[in-house]
Amino acid sequence: MFPVNTQVRNIYPPFDTFTVPMANATNEYGCMETLTASAPWWFGAYVAEADWVQPPPVVVRFLPGHDARVAFTGTDSSAAQAVDISFVFSDAMSCASVTAAVTVSSSPGPAGTVDATTVECGAIDAYYADDYVGTRAGTWMWKATLNGAEGIHRITIGVNATSSGGLGLQFSPTFLLRLGRANNPMVFGKLGLYDSGLIGTVGGAVSLVHSAVGADKFRVSYDHGLNFTAWAAYTSVSAVNTAAAAASGTVLVQYWSSTVLSAAHVSWCSFDSSYHAIGESSAARFSSVGMFGDFNLYGKDAFVRTYLDHVGDGDWQISAMFSGSEDVYFMVDGIIQFGDFDGNMYIDRQQIGALAVNTLTIPAPASGYVAWSLNLNDRSRLVTLTPRTTTVQMLVLYLSFFLFPVVLATAAFSFYKLYYS
């Protein structure tokens, strides 16, 4: 409660103010009869203007975006490439203090640098002003050119960056920027990157030729990720276990980076007996895919197909008849179970210990059909269903099985003569 005529101010953006009006002639405390929300889901908390404290500035936006992936166009991965970057602040800042506060560390190096001659600062139209309740609007921008080699760059703004009013940042925000070529899995390795140059001959020996600039460690699998070698320090060229590679025809390499604290970066390649890479459309990410459910007694019915055929371009296919809706799951490489616990037709792996049922529900065949042709893409992990075999075709087949013996017997009776003695 505030006395009448007290100036109050919101502690949340946009820091609006109003004067507390009189409630009635006998009450020294005021009362707001109505308060209009400035946006849906609006909230606010007001204090006396004398008690209100200006909050410190914050960074509300980084361009080209946190963890942005930028194509590296040079031929020498250690040569610097220019990338424009900018920061949007909630308050007008000291341009010199921001420039001095920006530091860059890079993996593998050399460290990127900010070209001080390209720095520009100034006020901008309010950014994020009305997008979210309680969000600081961006009103001031610092921009410059970053010169960095291929790899991962950490850009940090120190707390010594101050506003024009003398307030500094409360913490040091850090942003990532990745520079890499198209075959660099540390930059563009979503869902695994097929790299036809991953295996080759170097100095007369079959070798792995890595393109994961920015990685710190790597490990290799020759059985589609079921088993891996021990982690080793990253190098551009490493030896190949030729016996294991020849047996599988596929090599998969996983990379780890201390900068991003992630091992979700994979390159892989399939090759022929001469260790020449084959086209990605002919390569399979899995060694085998089986589909299990009541329709095939979970793989025990020898008269019903269980395993999908790899038909190229990442597609695996199988045709199956169902009497109704069916819950199935997929076994990849004979050991990894996939289902679809969220019902979006993209196969998922369940976390170890999870209690949810992880199966994919296949609906009853479409009207007029008796079977589905199922397609699983090992790149997108999407399952698609196409109706197959119409009821008319099945009826013709059924009648053929019924009539064929009768027709054949009739023909045989008319062809052969029976004699009795």
Q: Tens digit of pLDDT for each residue in 246-255?
A: 888 899 999 9
* DSSP label at residue 299: G
Which of 168, 169, 186 has its CA nearest to residue 177? 186
- The per-residue pLDDT for 322 is 80
**CB-based contact 329:341 (threshold 8 Å):** no
Number of H helices, E strands in the chain: 4, 27
**CB-based contact 176:258 (threshold 8 Å):** no
Within a 10 A sphere around the Cβ of 6, how many other Cβ atoms? Answer: 17
**CB-based contact 57:68 (threshold 8 Å):** no
| Secondary element (H or E) of residue 315 | strand 315-321
β-pair partners for 268: 194, 252
- The per-residue pLDDT for 214 is 95
**What are residue 287's phi and psi, to 5 degrees?**
-85, -30
Please state, for a pLDDT cut of 90, what percent of the chain lies above it.
Answer: 49
Which of 141, 263, 111, 142 has its CA nearest to residue 192? 263
Among 35-44, 236-245, 252-261, 364-373, name the one with the lowest average pLDDT.
35-44
Q: Is 191's pLDDT higher than 70? A: no
**347-375 average pLDDT score:** 85
Tokens of 237: 């060229």
Mean confidence (pLDDT) of the chain: 88
**275-289 average pLDDT score:** 85
Tokens of 396: 């013709």
**155-162 average pLDDT score:** 95
Which of 228, 332, 337, 229 has its CA nearest to residue 286? 332
**CB-based contact 277:270 (threshold 8 Å):** yes
Rounded to an integer, what distance in angstroms lies between the CA atom of residue 117 and that of residue 269? Answer: 44
β-pair partners for 387: 372
Q: Please state the pTM of the whole predicted model.
A: 0.75
**337-356 average pLDDT score:** 84
Tokens of 87: 């920061």
Tokens of 259: 């900068």
- The per-residue pLDDT for 383 is 95
- The per-residue pLDDT for 287 is 81
Which of 85, 87, 101, 86 has its CA nearest to residue 159? 101
The per-residue b/e assignment along 343-381, b for 16 or more CB within 10 angstroms, e otherwise, is: eeeebeebeeeeeeebbbebeebeeebbbbebbbbbeeb
**CB-based contact 90:139 (threshold 8 Å):** yes
Question: What 3-state class would DSSP assign to 307?
Answer: strand
Q: Is 40's pLDDT higher than 90? A: no
- The per-residue pLDDT for 265 is 92
- The per-residue pLDDT for 409 is 80
Long-range contacts of 353-362, Cβ-Cβ distance < 8 Å, separation of 24 or more: 357/327, 358/329, 359/293, 359/327, 359/328, 359/329, 360/327, 360/328, 360/329, 360/330, 361/325, 361/326, 361/327, 362/293, 362/322, 362/325, 362/326, 362/327, 362/328
Which of 327, 336, 339, 410 has its CA nearest to residue 364? 327
pLDDT, tens only, 202-221: 988 999 999 999 999 999 99
The per-residue b/e assignment along 297-335, b for 16 or more CB within 10 angstroms, e otherwise, is: eeeeeeeeebebebeeebbbebebebeeebebbbbbeee
Q: Is 148's pLDDT higher than 90? A: yes
Rounded to an integer, what distance in angstroms lies between the CA atom of residue 219 and that of residue 103? Answer: 32
> Which of 23-27, 34-38, 315-319 shows the highest mean pLDDT?
315-319
- The per-residue pLDDT for 23 is 66
- The per-residue pLDDT for 25 is 57
Give the Å distances, CA to CA, from 192 to 254, 280, 391.
9, 12, 41
